[in-house]
Amino acid sequence: MVNQVMQMAAPAIGVVPDLLGADEPRTYLLVFMNNAESVGLGGSAASQTLVTVDGGAFEIAAQGSSGDYLEGTPLENVDVPESAEALYGDFYGSYVNMSSARPHFPAMAEMVTEFWDRDVAPTLDNAASSRDIDGVISIDPIALGFILDATGPIHLATGDVMTSDNAVDLLLSDVYHRWNAYLEPEIVDGFFASVATEVFDKIASADFNLQAMLSSVTRGIDNGSIYFHSFHDEVQQHIDGEKVSGVLPTSNEVESTVGVFFRDESASKIDYYMKSNIDVNQTCSASGSEFRGRHDTAPRHRPRGGGCTARLCQECDVGSSQFRTAVYVYGVPGTTLESVQMDGREVRLVRDDVVDLDRPVAYFETYLQPGEIAKVTATFSVRVTSVRGPAIDADGAADHRPRERLRPGGVTLPSRT
C-alpha cells in the first residue's frame, strides 16, 4: 500500500513538506466553485476560505462569500489584458464571481487574492489580515463528491447527511429549492460556510484512508475540478504543464487541443439542468489542417423560484423563461479562425477577431427556452507554406470544464451530473 501511495504522490513529493508548513506557516485561499453557474474554469467563485497550515496542522482563519466583496469596482492592482476585456467585458476584474470566467487559473488566483486583500482582509483581526497568501486552491462539488468517497458521509448542521452520491444534488440544486439565493443570501452563504467547515474538519482529522484520498484528489484533478496555483516559484515549477495548474497547452508538442467554455449570463442556476455535447474533428490535406469544434446545448428543465433577480442580468430580460449562455471556442495554437456556423432560435456571433491566451477565439451568445437546442461550430485552420512549417498532431483533442479533457483518437464525453 505504501508503494502504491508513493507512486501516486511522486510528482509532488519534493514540495509536500513545504506546502504543509514544515519550515514555516503557510496560508492558502480555498475557493469553492459553484457549477450551478458555469464559467470558464468550471463554476463561479462563490465562496472562499482562508486556511493556515503550520507543521501539518490545519486551521480555518476566515471565511468569505460573494456578499463580502465590493462588486462593480475594478481592482487597481490587476491588469486585465485587452483580449480578456473584449471577451468577458467589464465584469472581469470587477466581480469576484467572474474571476473564474477566463480559462487561465493563474490569472484567477491573482484576481481572487487581490479581491480578498482589498475587501475581506481589512475586516479581519491583525493576526489574520497580516498573513500573506501563499497559494490558491479551487474545488467544485464534483471533486467534493470524489473526496467523500474517501472520508465517508459528513453530517451537516442542517441535519443533512452529505455523501458522495448526493453532494452535487445537495450543493447545486437542493439548496436553491429550500432558499432563494437572491432574497435570502445570508442563509445560503451560511449553509455553504457550514459545509466548508464540516468538510474541512473531517479532512483535517485525517480520519480516512490515505490511498483512497489520493485517488479521489487525482480523479478531481483529471476531471478539471481541482486547481492549484502557488505564488512561490520553486513550488509552481513542479506543476507547470500539469492539468492541476489550470493552464491551456501553449503548443502542439504533446497533442493539439481545442477549448470549449461556457458562461452563464442569466445567473439563474440553470447549469445544473443544462445538457451539452462537444465534438471536435480534424481534417488534413497537402496544404494544411483544419480543426472543427461543435457545441450543442439545451436546458432540460426550468428551475424553480420564478424570475431571476440577480444584479448581473436585470437588463437581460431573461428570468426563468429563457436562458442566456455565452460559448467560447478557443482554437488550436498556431491556427486562425476560418469560419463559424450557428443553428438555433436566437444565436449570434459576438466576436471572431480576438486572440486570447495565444489562441484564436470564437465567441457566441445563445438564448434558450426549456427544451430548445442551440448549435455553434467554429473551424480553425493552419496552412503549410514550408516543409519547416508548424507541426500539428494528427489527432485533435478538446479541453473544457468541468468534464474530463478529451484525448486524441476519439472524442467521448461523460454525461454531466
pLDDT of residue 312: 37
Biggest CA pair distance of the chain: 67
Instruction: Give the span between the Cα atoms of 139 and 153, in whole angstroms.
Output: 18
Query: Which pLDDT score is estimated for 387?
Result: 41
> For the residues of 348-403, what is the DSSP string, one character each?
EEEEEEEEETTEEEEEEEEEE-TT--EEEEEEEEEE--STTS----SSEEEE-SSS
pLDDT of 3:
59
> How many CB atoms within 10 Å of residue 104?
20
CA proximity to 369, closest of 326, 412, 323:
323
Instruction: Give the range among 173-187, 195-209, 265-279, 391-405 with minimum mean pLDDT.
Output: 391-405
pLDDT at position 309 is 35
> Per residue in 128-181, pLDDT tens?
544 589 999 999 999 999 999 999 999 988 899 999 999 999 999 899 888 887
The whole-angstrom separation of Cα 172 and Cα 367 is 22
Give me the pLDDT at residue 2, please: 55
Residue 238 confidence class, pLDDT cut points 50, 70, 90? confident
Whether the CB-CB separation of 136 and 29 falls below 8 Å is answered with yes
Taking the CA of residue 6 as centre, how many other CA atoms within 13 Å lie in the half-sphere pointing to its CB?
3
Q: Mention every residue, 6+ apart, whose C-beta is less than 8 A from residue 279.
A: 293, 294, 411
Q: How confident is the model at residue 47 (pLDDT cuts 50, 70, 90)?
A: confident
Q: How far apart are CA 384 and CA 391, in angstroms?
A: 9
Residue pair 264/333 in contact by the 8 Å Cβ criterion: no
Stretch 288-317: mean pLDDT: 54
Q: What is this structure's pTM?
A: 0.84
**Amino acid, single-letter form, for residue 184:** E
283: which 3 cell numbers?
Answer: 481534417
pLDDT at 128: 52
**Residue pLDDT, tens place only, 54-82:** 887 888 888 888 778 898 999 998 999 99
Give the CA distances from residue 11 to residues 5, 8, 239, 240, in Å, rounded to whole numbers and listed in that order: 12, 8, 8, 11
CA-nearest of 154, 140, 150 to 197 is 154
